[in-house]
Each structure stands twice: as C-alpha cells, then as structure tokens.
Amino acid sequence: MQVQQMMSTHPQAPRKANDALLRCIEECYSCAQTCTACADACLAEESVAGLRLCIRLNLDCADLCATIGRIVSRGTGLNAALLAEILNSCALVCRLCGDECERHAQIHEHCRLCAAACRSCAEACGEAIRSLRAAA
C-alpha cells in the first residue's frame, strides 16, 4: 500500500494516519479515475443526450474526489472538524453520482462499475468521518 508507506514517512504529521483515512484516500483516487473514465465512455455512447446528467455528475465527482484525496493526504495542521465536513461533501457527491450511474447500469457496463466505485468511496468517507470522531 503506497499511501500507507508515504503517510508513515511524514515527520510532522500530528497524528498517525488510521486505516479508515488511508482507505479513504485510496477510494477517492480510485473513484476519481473511474468517474473520469465513465464520463468519457458516456460521451462515446450514441445515446449521449440521455447521459448529460450522468456525465456532469461523473465530472463533478471526479474533481471532488481527486481534490479530497489530496486534502486527506496532508496531515500537518489537520483540523478534524473541517476534514469531516469535507468528507461529508465527498460522500454526498459520490451518492448522487452513484445513484445516477445506477439508472444507466443495466444498459452501460461503465455506469455499473462507476456506481460501485462511487458507493465504495462514499462508504470509505463515512468510515473516515467516524474514525475522526472516535479519535476526538
């Protein structure tokens, strides 16, 4: 696990990264990649007009997940309350994107895979929030 190795080398991190936060980082980056690929696949479909909302949510989710992966990776000066709110927003966009992709999952395999990635990321964000509250 490269994320764990990197986080363990930080000389000034005020906390040891817990497993929930490490999983959250990995899931955020995975979800960002999956959503980006799903948006691109949606654009290649002949029925692209019916996928506009899906594409929009894919792109929004990909951007937010990538950003949150970077934010959670920074341990210096961590504000747990702020981080929990940021993770809440990630979980929300993942749920919305996952729900929209699920609407197209029976027709488009890329949407099925994306819905699963979004749900996994939302779950990881929830676990990370709970771990922050438990540590407080």
For residue 66, CA distances in Å to 36, 40, 44, 102 come to 10, 17, 23, 21
Structural domain including 34 reads 19-135
The percent of residues above 90 in pLDDT, for the chain, comes to: 75
Task: Tell the residue number behind the tokens 């990264």, with chain if given.
Answer: 17
Three-state SS for 18?
coil
Q: Is residue 11 part of a domain?
A: no
| Between residues 15 and 57, the one the model is more confident about | 57
Residue type, 22: L
Could you read off the pLDDT of 56-113 as tens digits, one per residue? 999 999 999 999 999 998 876 678 899 999 999 999 999 999 999 999 999 999 999 9
pLDDT over threshold 90, residue 12: no
Q: Is residue 27 part of a domain?
A: yes
Q: Is residue 3 part of a domain?
A: no
pTM for this model (two decimals): 0.89
Q: Is residue 5 part of a domain?
A: no
Least confident of 8-12, 96-100, 120-124, 126-130: 8-12
Binning pLDDT at 50, 70 and 90, where does residue 14 land?
A: very low
